Structure 1
Amino acid sequence: MKKFNWTSTIRANVFMLKCVGLWPERGETYQRDFYTFYAVFNAILIIGGHNLSQLVNILFVYSDLEALAATIFVMITNILATMKMYLFVRNMRVIKRLLLVLDSIHFQPKSLEQEKLIQPSLKIWKKSYTIYSSIVAVNVVLWSIAPLMNEGQRLPFVAWYPFSTESSPNYQIIYVYQVVCIWYITIANINLDSLTYALMMYICAQCDILCDNLSLLGGTETDFSTTLRECIVHHKKIVCFAKEGNRVFNMIILGQFATSTLVLALTMFQLTLVDPLSEAAFTHLSYIIGISTQVLLYCWFGNEVEIKSSQIPYAIYKSDWFGRSVGVKTSLLILSVRCQQPVRITAINLFVLSLRTFVVILRSAWSYFAVLYKVNNQ
């Protein structure tokens, strides 16, 4: 049977990471070549410059709640994206090795039926990637064209520069600079998130394969024992894969959830300050939908990992276990006990990625928004 190519599913995802300088092809990490220069140049000029201009602006508006909220509600997301890039680059060797593990014999589908079995998980990730990218792209387009739809020379984002941006050609240069920066950061952010979703999707697919292999256990005692040993090894590798991936991304997840709560609250607050039918209102609403989708996908894929892994004990029970030797039954019992604790994706063990966590985040964001609204109206 032809070897299944797991990474073909995320080909577009990896290509976009290459475009923004976050996926060197030569070796496991950066080398001394033009691509590394390109990545460093983007990190300093685009990421560093854009974030610094917004951070400095806070010094001039910190006493004005409305101006402060207008400055930081997008800046927080940009700083988080920068942190994601740093953690991703630092753990790039581990991430690439995790993707190589998928090509090992234990992670390969054993039949065409198993290939069909995992297709729903792969298709869900592809649809999620497309929908999430489209929602965020619409929001960035609105930000990019907003100054062109209003009278006067207004930049897409509030920021400070050591020269006047009201006259030509300074205004046009900074306008293009901000648009390039937000598109670059957005592309990086979307594809780093999507790669995290992909790793969780792979865990779900592996659980489907393991459940199918366990439920089909049968035949002679020798065949049963041999296949069972392979299933035990497969389960251990799935758990190791999940733990290693979680170790790489748990700080990213923690930062994402902490900042998303604040960003949602600030954006809802911004929404109350503009005309409900204005262009700014549509931009803020689009931003809320984008952030909510981002967090929802983290929680949904994490929830799927827990659900899929919790089905393993039931697959064991479906096997032809009765009538087997005491040694085989003991092995099945030990495996079943180990699988009682499902695989969970966490943020440094503070909370589990689940739909329940998503609801908690939305409630917290609403509470922070209510406080901001009350303070501003006093």
Structure 2
Amino acid sequence: MEKFDWQKIIKTNILKLKIVGLWPSGNETYQFNLYTLWVILSITFLNFGHNFFQMVNMIYIFNDLHKIIQTTYVTLSEIAGLLKAYYVIRNMKTLKGLMVTLRSDLFQPKNAKQLAMIKPSFFFWRVNYFMYWMMSGGAIFFWSIYPVLDKTNNDFPLPFLAWYPWSTKKWPQYQLTYLYQIFGLLFIATTAISVDTLIAALNVYIGAQFDILCDDLKHIFDDDTGCDLNKKLIHCVHHHREIVRFALNTNKFANWIVLAQFFVSAVTIGITLFQMTVVIPLSGEFFSCLSFTFAMCVEIFMYCWFGNEIELKSVNIVDSIFKSNWLNTSLEVKRNMIFFVMRCRRPMKMSALNLFYLSLDTFMRIMRTAWSYFALLHQVSSR
């Protein structure tokens, strides 16, 4: 069977990470070269700079609740994007190691049946990937044009409220600042979405490996050619150990990213829902908030759904062992099977610093928390 290229599934994702400076070529990490210079300049001016000017402006609008809310839900998401870029750069060696592990023979599907078995998960990941980009693209588009289309009272409206050490009330500073905000938004959005979908893809890979292992275990004793059954069982044990190691390294890389995203999503979804109640209905700003809310929901759903799949698929290992044709095996093989079952009893759970597990229950809790923030803001605003 031809070797399956796991990385080909996320090649578009990796290309976008390369563009924003978060994926050095090959298996290398960051070196002293032009690519590293691009990383420093782009993150400093387009990511950090864009966030910095908006946060400074909050000092001047501190007494205006509406403007604070208008700035906060965007700024929090952009800070989360900066955090994601930092942890990708910090853990680049781990990420490249995960890609090397995926190319190993141990992680390869054994036959066409196993390949067909894992394809639905990749298809669902692609569906979420396109939905996430579509909703985010809609938000970016309406953010980019609503100051002009909505004809606000401000003579020089910008997409985002921000303070700059130059005047934005005259040409060409206004046009250049407008473009700077749009490019900064595009850069941060590409960074955040690419990291989110990469983590989701890594979780899909873990689930796919559990599917392959379960199929191997179901048919481990079907071969009557007299081969060493203990060796086949040991191979499965080794495969399970590598899957667990792959999952732990993925979790180690994503820990702080997921924790920050859960907090940011709960707050920003609530604030965005409130913002939709105070802007002009069916205006450009209204549609930007609507698209942004859907994008945040898809983002959290991806984390929780594919994390939940890992837990469900890891539980199937014990069932797969007992579904195999183990009755006629030797006592030694049966004893080794019992040891393996004892090792696999606890399901694999992806978490955020062991505070939150990636599950559908967590997704519903985040949605309820977001609604609570919305209700609180609506009550305060009414008073």
For the criterion TM > 0.5, the same-fold answer is yes
Who is 1:79 aligned against?
A: 79
CA spacing shift, 1:337–1:26, aligned 2, 3 Å:
closer
Match runs of 1:138-157 below 5 Å: 138-151=138-151, 152-157=155-160
Q: Distance in 2 between matches of 1:98 and 1:192?
A: 15
- 2:309 aligned with 1:304, yes or no? yes
**Deviation string for 1:239-258 (max 9, x for gaps)?**
11101110111110000001
Who is 1:345 aligned against?
A: 350
Who is 1:204 aligned against?
A: 207
Who is 1:333 aligned against?
A: 338
**Deviation string for 1:319-339 (max 9, x for gaps)?**
111122221111111212222
Write the letter of the residue equivalent to 2:50. Answer: H
2:200–2:303 contact (8 Å) kept in structure 1 = yes
Q: Distance in 2 between matches of 1:105 and 1:275?
A: 57
Match runs of 1:1-378 below 5 Å: 1-25=1-25, 27-151=27-151, 152-218=155-221, 219-220=223-224, 222-378=227-383
SS of 2:168's partner is: coil
Q: Distance in 1 between matches of 2:159 and 2:322?
A: 59
Report deviation, 1:26. 5.5
**Deviation string for 1:133-180 (max 9, x for gaps)?**
111111111111112313243111111112221221111010000000
Report deviation, 1:216. 0.4
**Deviation string for 1:84-110 (max 9, x for gaps)?**
100110000001101110111211111
Provide TM-score, normalisation by structure 2: 0.96
2:150–2:284 contact (8 Å) kept in structure 1 = no
Q: Distance in 2 between matches of 1:282 and 1:294?
A: 18
**Deviation string for 1:189-245 (max 9, x for gaps)?**
110001100110000110110011000011356432221111111111111110111
Report deviation, 1:313. 1.0
Q: How many residues align?
A: 378
Identity level (%): 40
Q: Distance in 2 between matches of 1:117 and 1:374?
A: 50
The unaligned stretches of length 5 or more in structure 2 are none
**Deviation string for 1:276-302 (max 9, x for gaps)?**
232222111111111111001110110
Q: Distance in 2 between matches of 1:365 and 1:177?
A: 31
Q: Distance in 1 between matches of 2:141 and 2:282?
A: 18
SS of 2:7's partner is: helix
Moved more, 268-277 or 78-87: 268-277
CA spacing shift, 1:134–1:277, aligned 2, 3 Å:
closer
Provide TM-score, normalisation by structure 1: 0.97
**Deviation string for 1:318-367 (max 9, x for gaps)?**
11111222211111112122222111100000111011100000111111
Moved more, 163-172 or 340-349: 163-172
Write the letter of the residue equivalent to 1:250. Answer: N
SS of 1:272's partner is: helix
Q: Distance in 2 between matches of 1:310 and 1:116?
A: 21
Q: Distance in 2 between matches of 1:204 and 1:156?
A: 41
Write the letter of the residue equivalent to 1:301. Answer: F
Q: Distance in 2 between matches of 1:138 and 1:42?
A: 24
Write the letter of the residue equivalent to 1:161. Answer: Y
Moved more, 92-101 or 147-156: 147-156
The unaligned stretches of length 5 or more in structure 1 are none
Q: Distance in 2 between matches of 1:287 and 1:27?
A: 35
